[in-house]
Amino acid sequence: MNSCFDVTCRRCPRLAAFLDAVHLEEPDYYCRPVPPFGDPNARLLIVGLAPGMHGANRTGRPFTGDHAGILLYATLHKFGLASGPVSTAADDGLELIDARITNSVKCLPPANKPFPLEIKVCNDFLRAELEASHEARVILALGAIAHAAVLRASDLASRAYRFAHGAEHALSKDRVLVDSYHCSRYNTQTRRLTTPMFEAVVRRARALALAAHLE
């Protein structure tokens, strides 16, 4: 079993039961822990919160099939990090270039809200993924929960690294955490996160990753 991911994981009883219930209602949905997507040797690792009901939980690819991925994939494509601007399905041929996307919690949570214990339990997988991501120089956290999950997986105290949109935190001598508001429907529709704001963060994260490669 890959310590970075387990498609058969049922460590969280509430999440496992919820996936079973959704699968009964939507038998064509993926309804399993959603694997990371992208280049395993990427310099940029993007960490989200959890699969969406009709997005990643349906398609089996992070940020794919619902509103949250619209801005993300369009922006990645704009900066040369994706082969196309739209992600529709796990088998649509889209590829990420020097980037990978994962989630803090790999299973769909009810109401899109994982419990703190579920985030903690799933952190083992994120920790293993960070340890195995030898080329990852920049981690882009989408939202405060992803920010905190990355810190926990890195054995760093969250109180010393305050989440803020556009903030940058040195996790080690060769790894930087960059924060962004999550590209959720709520954040984009309320204008808490605008396209220029998100593009600026991704542009900066890409530049930091490239600069690390050139050193």
Provide the whole-model pTM.
0.96
Residue 162, CA distances (Å) to 5, 42, 167 in order: 28, 25, 8
- Coil, helix or strand at residue 176: strand
Asked whether 117 and 21 are in contact (CB, 8 A), the reply is no
What are the chain's domains?
A: 13-214 (3.40.470.10)
- For 37-88, write each residue's pLDDT tens digit: 999 999 999 999 999 999 999 999 999 999 999 999 999 999 999 999 999 9
pLDDT score of 2 = 67
- For 82-121, write each residue's pLDDT tens digit: 999 999 999 999 999 999 999 999 999 999 999 999 999 9
pLDDT surpassing 50 at residue 205: yes
